[in-house]
Structure 1
Amino acid sequence: MVLNGLGFVQQALYLTPQFFKARPTERLIGEGIRPEHLNDDTLGRALDSLYDYGVTELFRDLAAHGAAQLGLASRFAHLDATSFLAHGEYNSERETEDGVVQIRKGYSRDHRPDLNQVVLNLMVEHKAGLPMLMEPLSGNASDQGSFPELIDQHIDHLQNAHGFDYVVADSSLYSASHVEDLDRNGVKFITRVPLAISEAEEVVQETDPAALEPLTEGYEAREHISEYGGVRQRWLVVHSEAAEARAKESAANRRDREHKEEKREFRELLAREFSCREDAKKALSAFEEDLTASTLAEGRVLRAICFTMDEEGTPVETGEESYLLQGKLVPSEARKAELVKRKSFFILATNELDEERLSGRELLKGYKGQSKVERGFRFMKDPWFVASSLFLESEERIEALLMVMTLCLMVYAALQHRIRQGLQAGERSYPDQKGKPTQRPTARWIFQSFEGIHVLHVGSQHLVLNMEEHHRTVVSILGPGYERLYVSHPT
C-alpha cells in the first residue's frame, strides 16, 4: 500500500494489483509475492490487522524508529489537524463501540460541510517534517478538545523517543484551561494567541511600532509578560512587513464596506424629524459615538418652520416647529489604520520564561515551522495520492488507511530528507524538472524520474535498464540496501 501510495497513480485500492503488474513484486516485497496476491481482500485483512493492533500506538513506535534511523532530534514538535471526506454509509447517526471513530459532519477544512468526514490529528518534527504521531478522530471532533488530550496521552513517550522541547500549535491550543493544564503537566508550548482575547487586542493596540526591535528579516517584535490562564508566560508581539502589505488592501475594502452601511443608516437618520432641538442633538451625538468606519463632518441641527396654504394659495406659517439633522460622513482613516495594524501583528505565547533557552528569534522560527505539518496535509490530500476522499466498508478500515497514508508521508519525508542531506554533504546535485542542478529535489520528482527504469531478465542474469548517473547518485546516498536493487547481476 505504501508503494502504491507513493506511485502517485491516482488509483483506488482495489486497483493495487494492476499497479503492481509493471513492478517486480518479488524483488521489491518478497519471494513468491505476485501482483494478483495484492488484491482488495488481502489489503482489507491487512487494514483489519492494523486496526486490531492500534493504529496510533503502532505508528508512534514506527515513527520513533524512523527518526532514530535518520538521527533526527528537533527542538520543536508541530501539531495540527485536518479532515478527509468519506463517502458511503457509516455510523454517523448511531453510537459506536469504544474507540471507533464516527464518520459524520463537522467543521470542514475542504469547505464541504454537507459531506461526512473523519478528522486526523498529526504531529511532525521540525527538521524533515517527519510525522511522529497520528490519531484518527470522529468527523465532528474539535481541535480545541482533542489537542490537549492527545498531548497528555503521548507526551512522555514522544519526548523520550524524539527529545523535543516544545509542542507547537496554532491558536486552537490556546485557551485559559489548556494553558493551565499544559503548564501543570510540565509541557512547554509555543502557540498563537487569538486576538479575540481582550488582553491580546489591547496589547496590539497599545504597541508603538517605533518601539519594536528587529527580529529577523521582515519581522519586528517586542515582548510582553502575561498571566493569562493563571500561567506566567512570554508573549512575543510580532509585526510582519509582508502581513502589513497584504493588509492594506483588505483593510481598505473592509473599511469601505462598513462605511457604506453607516452611510445608509445616516440617510435614515437625516430623514427623521425631531420635535425639539435637544432630541435632535442627542440623536446625532449617539449616532456619532457608534460610528466605526466613518467620521461625521459638518454635523448640525436645523430648525424647520412649518407652513400651510390658505384659501388663496398663499403660504402661511402654522406656528409649529420641527428639527432636522444635516451633515456628511467621510471614510475614517483611523479605522483603516486600526485594521491594518490588527492584521499586521500577531502574538506568540510560550511558557518558556528563560530567554537564553528560547530567544524571540527561536520562538518565531519554531512557530513558522507549522508550515511543515501543513505541507504534510497537502501531500496526503493530493488527488494523485492514495485517496483524495475515503471509501471503505468499515470505520475501522478507514482508521487503518489513515495510518497507512501517514506512513506514506513518513517514508516520503524520510527519503527526501536523506537525499537532500546526502547531496549537500557530498556537494552533489540532482537535475530538476528543467534540467537545472539542485540540492533540494522533491521526493515526488525523484520517484517520477525513476519511472523509466526496468529489470530485464536474460537467462540467468537480470539487467537494470536506463540507469543514469543522477539515478546512481541517489541510490548511493540511500545506501547498500538500495544499491542491491539497482545493480545488474546473475539471478
Structure 2
Amino acid sequence: MSTTITATHERVDDIPAIIVHLKNMRVAELLDTHFQPNGNWQGLSLGGTTVVWLAFILSEGDHRLYRVEPWVTAHQRTLSRCIGRKVTPRDLTDDRLATILDYLSVAERWGAFERALNQSVLRVYDLQGRVARLDTTTAAAYVTPEGLFQLGHSKDHRPDLPQVKVSMSVLDPLGLPLTTTVVAGQTADDPLYLPEIAKVRQSAGTTGLTYVGDCKMAALGTRAEIVAHQDYYLCPLSAKQMPEAELDCILDPVLRDAFAPSAIRLPHADGTLDETDEPVAMGLAYTVDLSAPDQSGQSQTWQERRLVVRSLALAARQEQSLRQRVARAVTELNALDNRKQGKPRLSDEAAASHAASAILAKHRVEGLVTVTVTTDVHEYVKRRYGTRPATTVRSERVRVWAASNEVTLAHTVRRLGWRVYATNHTAEALSLAQGVAAYRSEYLIEQGFGRLKGRSLALTPLFLHNEQRVVALICLLSIALRVLVLIQFVVRRNLQQADATLKGIYPGQPGRSTAQPTTEMLLLAFRGVTLSRIKVNGQLIYHLTPLNTVQRRILALMEVPLGIYAGLVT
C-alpha cells in the first residue's frame, strides 16, 4: 500500500513573541475604541489588522504596504492562532492599510489614543519614570510646494533633500516614546517643545516631571512656562544665552587657580557611587534669579541653578583637534617661503602677512601661533663684461617663520570642554553629578531615532507620497518603537534582578554573554523556528521546530508564555 505524504512549511520566527507584547499593550483594543471605521469595514477589525501590520514591520523591518499581503499569506496559521481569530490575506491588502493610515491621520483621535496607550503601558509595565526627554529628528522625502516636505536644517546632514520633521518625547530610564508630532521640514525646533511638553503632561496626568532637552529648549519663555506648571527642566545654554565673555568671567577664578572645581563621578548601573573611580568631569554651580512671562503673559519668578561643567573626555578630544590644527598651520606657514618649481614667490612682507593670516583663519588658530615675517637682503657685484660696466645687484627674499605660542595655547586648552547647563531643581533634588548623569543619558532618545530611521523600523527612505499617510505612518512606527523599547526593558530588568547574563544570542560567538541585550538581538534568536503542515494519507499533522534552551530562556525573560508557540500545533 503506497503512502501519500505532502508537506508545507511556515516560518514562525519571532511573530508570536511580538504579538504577545502588542496584546499586553492593548494596542488592538485601544485602536478599536478610538478609531471607528465606516459600516463597509469587514473581516479583521481595524485594531487587529494594525497589530498584524505592526508584527510585519517589527519582524521584517519594512514599512512598504504592498509587501504585507504576501507576508500574511506565508504566515496565515501563525497569525490566526496568535491573534485569536482567522486572518486572511484580504484583511491586509495595501488598499486597506492605506485606509488605516487615513484613520490614524486624524490628529484629535490619535492624540486621545496615544494618551490611553501611554496610561495602559505605564500601568501594565509598572513604570514610574519622572524624567522625560525631548528632541527632534528629520526624515527625507519628496518635495511638496507649501506642504510638509520642505528644505531645512537636516539632522542627517543632507540639507539638499526635502524633509519632514518629527518631534518626540520619551520616558526615562528606558527611552519609551510618549508623544510624537510631525511638522513641516523647515520648522524651527524652538516652538515645538512647549506643545510636546503639554502633551506629556496631559498623558502623565501629573506635574513635577523633569524635562531634559538640548539648547533649543532653553529659550527663556519655554523655561518660564515649565516653571508655571510646577515642572522642572534641565538643558544646556546656547552661546546666545551664555555669551563667551560671560562664561570667561565665570571661569576666571578657575583658570587663575583661585577656585578648584568639584570632581564629578557618575554612579554605576546599580546606582552606587565609588569615590575611587576616575572623574568624568569637573564642575561648579551657582544660582541666579530669573523673571519672565509665561505663555499666558503672567510673570514668573524663580531661582535657576547654573551647572558649569567641563567634560574631561570632550576637553581631551578638543585639545587633540586643536593641537593638530596648530601643527598643520605651523607646517603650512613655514613652507610659505619654500622655493618650488611653479610656485609663485612672496613679493613682499605685506603679501606674506596676508597669506599667513589666511592660513591661520583656515585652521582657526588665530592668536595661538607666532608668525615672524622678515626680508633677507643679499648684495653682490656683477663684474664687467665687454662694454657693460660692473654693477651691484640687490636681491630680496621674504622669509616666514612660525611656531606655536605655548603660553596662549596652554591657556586655551584649559578653557576647552566647558558648558553651562540650566535647571530649576534645588541642589538637594539634583546634585551636580546627578545633573551631568541625567543629561548624558540623552542618547536614549537618539537611540530611538536610530531605530526609527534605521534597519529596525526603516522609516527612511519614505515610499509614501500622501502627506497625511506619511504622518500616520510615523505615528504607527512610534507604536512599533514602543514594542522594541519595552521588550528590551523587561529583559534587562529581569536579568538585573537575577544578577545574571544571557549568552547564545551573538552569531558565531555562542559563549559570549551580556546583561544588556537589545531587542533586535533577542528577536533574531528565533529565526528558523518553523511550523510544518504534514499530510499523511489524508491525516493532518502539525510540527513545530523545538525551541532550544536559549530561546526558552529568552521567552522567560520577555515574560512570554511558552504556550504561545505550543498553541500553533494544537
Q: In the alignment, is the contact (CA less than 8 A) between 1:456 and 1:462 conserved in 2?
A: yes
Pairing 1:156–2:235 present: no
Q: In the alignment, is the contact (CA less than 8 A) between 2:488 and 2:519 conserved in 1?
A: yes
Cα shift readout 1:289-327 (whole Å, capped 9, x = no counterpart): x95232366x8999xxxxxxxx98778xxxxxxxxx998
Aligned to 1:362: 434
Q: In the alignment, is the contact (CA less than 8 A) between 2:451 and 2:457 conserved in 1?
A: yes
Q: In the alignment, is the contact (CA less than 8 A) between 1:86 and 1:389 conserved in 2?
A: yes
SS of the counterpart of 1:232? Answer: strand
Pairing 1:236–2:290 present: no
Q: In the alignment, is the contact (CA less than 8 A) between 1:460 and 1:490 conserved in 2?
A: no
Mean Cα displacement is larger for which, 464-473 or 389-398?
464-473
Mean Cα displacement is larger for which, 235-244 or 402-411?
235-244
Aligned residues: 457
Aligned ranges 1:467-482 → 2 under 5 Å: 467-479=547-559, 482=561
550, 563, 569: which one aligns with 1:484: 563
240, 243, 260: which one aligns with 1:211: 260
68, 92, 95: which one aligns with 1:16: 68
Mean Cα displacement is larger for which, 64-73 or 334-343?
334-343
Aligned to 2:472: 400
Aligned ranges 1:92-131 → 2 under 5 Å: 92-94=144-146, 102-131=148-177
Aligned to 1:282: none
Pairing 1:340–2:405 present: no
SS of the counterpart of 1:239? Answer: strand
Q: Aligned equivalents of 1:200 and 1:356: distance in 2?
A: 25
Pairing 1:174–2:215 present: no
Q: In the alignment, is the contact (CA less than 8 A) between 1:8 and 1:386 conserved in 2?
A: no
Aligned to 2:41: none
The residue identity in structure 1 corresponding to 2:480 is C
The residue identity in structure 2 corresponding to 1:464 is L
Task: Return closer, same or farther for 1:291/1:181 CA change in 2, 3 Å cut-off.
Answer: same
Aligned to 1:252: 323
How far does residue 124 in structure 1 lie from its aligned partner after superposition?
0.9
SS of the counterpart of 1:123? Answer: strand
Task: Return closer, same or farther for 1:272/1:26 CA change in 2, 3 Å cut-off.
Answer: closer
Aligned to 1:271: 349
Pairing 1:49–2:103 present: yes
The residue identity in structure 2 corresponding to 1:473 is R
- Normalising by structure 2, report the TM-score: 0.70
The residue identity in structure 1 corresponding to 2:264 is L
Q: In the alignment, is the contact (CA less than 8 A) between 2:138 and 2:163 conserved in 1?
A: yes
Q: Aligned equivalents of 1:60 and 1:476: distance in 2?
A: 29
295, 298, 321: which one aligns with 2:370: 295
Q: In the alignment, is the contact (CA less than 8 A) between 1:294 and 1:330 conserved in 2?
A: yes
How far does residue 85 in structure 1 lie from its aligned partner after superposition?
1.0
Task: Return closer, same or farther for 1:118/1:11 CA change in 2, 3 Å cut-off.
Answer: closer
Q: Aligned equivalents of 1:471 and 1:314: distance in 2?
A: 97
Mean Cα displacement is larger for which, 168-177 or 444-453?
168-177
Pairing 1:374–2:420 present: no
Q: In the alignment, is the contact (CA less than 8 A) between 2:168 and 2:196 conserved in 1?
A: no
Aligned to 1:305: none
How far does residue 207 in structure 1 lie from its aligned partner after superposition?
3.1
Q: Aligned equivalents of 1:86 and 1:57: distance in 2?
A: 28
Q: Aligned equivalents of 2:250 and 2:569: distance in 1?
A: 72
How far does residue 424 in structure 1 lie from its aligned partner after superposition?
3.0
How far does residue 170 in structure 1 lie from its aligned partner after superposition?
1.2
Gaps of 5+ in 2: 1-52, 266-278, 293-301, 338-344, 352-359, 377-387, 393-397
How far does residue 228 in structure 1 lie from its aligned partner after superposition?
6.5
Cα shift readout 1:170-201 (whole Å, capped 9, x = no counterpart): 11212333333433443310011224531235
The residue identity in structure 2 corresponding to 1:349 is A
219, 223, 227: which one aligns with 1:183: 227
The residue identity in structure 2 corresponding to 1:222 is L
Cα shift readout 1:362-414 (whole Å, capped 9, x = no counterpart): 11121111110010011111145343221213111101110111111101100
Task: Return closer, same or farther for 1:106/1:214 CA change in 2, 3 Å cut-off.
Answer: same
Aligned ranges 1:68-79 → 2 under 5 Å: 68-79=123-134
Aligned to 2:92: 38
Q: In the alignment, is the contact (CA less than 8 A) between 2:208 and 2:232 conserved in 1?
A: no
Cα shift readout 1:329-370 (whole Å, capped 9, x = no counterpart): 432234533553444222221111x21111112111211111
Task: Return closer, same or farther for 1:490/1:19 CA change in 2, 3 Å cut-off.
Answer: closer
How far does residue 30 in structure 1 lie from its aligned partner after superposition?
4.2
SS of the counterpart of 2:321? Answer: helix
Mean Cα displacement is larger for which, 38-47 or 257-266?
257-266
Q: In the alignment, is the contact (CA less than 8 A) between 2:129 and 2:172 conserved in 1?
A: yes
Q: In the alignment, is the contact (CA less than 8 A) between 1:188 and 1:351 conserved in 2?
A: yes
How far does residue 105 in structure 1 lie from its aligned partner after superposition?
1.1
Q: Aligned equivalents of 1:326 and 1:427: distance in 2?
A: 69
Q: Aligned equivalents of 1:158 and 1:457: distance in 2?
A: 46
Aligned to 2:461: 389
How far does residue 262 in structure 1 lie from its aligned partner after superposition?
8.5
Mean Cα displacement is larger for which, 45-54 or 20-29?
20-29
How far does residue 120 in structure 1 lie from its aligned partner after superposition?
0.6
Q: In the alignment, is the contact (CA less than 8 A) between 1:144 and 1:172 conserved in 2?
A: yes
How far does residue 68 in structure 1 lie from its aligned partner after superposition?
2.1
Aligned to 2:182: 136
65, 73, 94: which one aligns with 2:120: 65
- Normalising by structure 1, report the TM-score: 0.80
SS of the counterpart of 1:406? Answer: helix
Aligned to 2:357: none
SS of the counterpart of 1:104? Answer: coil
Task: Return closer, same or farther for 1:463/1:134 CA change in 2, 3 Å cut-off.
Answer: same
% identical equivalent positions:
22
Task: Return closer, same or farther for 1:384/1:369 CA change in 2, 3 Å cut-off.
Answer: closer
Q: Aligned equivalents of 1:460 and 1:488: distance in 2?
A: 16
Cα shift readout 1:148-190 (whole Å, capped 9, x = no counterpart): 3322x324314426x7621001112123333334334433100
Q: Aligned equivalents of 1:412 and 1:467: distance in 2?
A: 22
Q: Aligned equivalents of 2:89 and 2:250: distance in 1?
A: 62
Aligned to 2:298: none
Q: Aligned equivalents of 1:269 and 1:336: distance in 2?
A: 31
Cα shift readout 1:203-256 (whole Å, capped 9, x = no counterpart): 345534770112113222111224577653111112222112212221123445
Pairing 1:454–2:530 present: yes
Q: Aligned equivalents of 1:257 and 1:17: distance in 2?
A: 59
Task: Return closer, same or farther for 1:168/1:454 CA change in 2, 3 Å cut-off.
Answer: same
SS of the counterpart of 1:115? Answer: coil
Task: Return closer, same or farther for 1:270/1:380 CA change in 2, 3 Å cut-off.
Answer: same
How far does residue 130 in structure 1 lie from its aligned partner after superposition?
0.9
CA RMSD of aligned residues (A): 3.9
SS of the counterpart of 2:139? Answer: strand
How far does residue 141 in structure 1 lie from its aligned partner after superposition?
1.3
How far does residue 20 in structure 1 lie from its aligned partner after superposition?
3.0
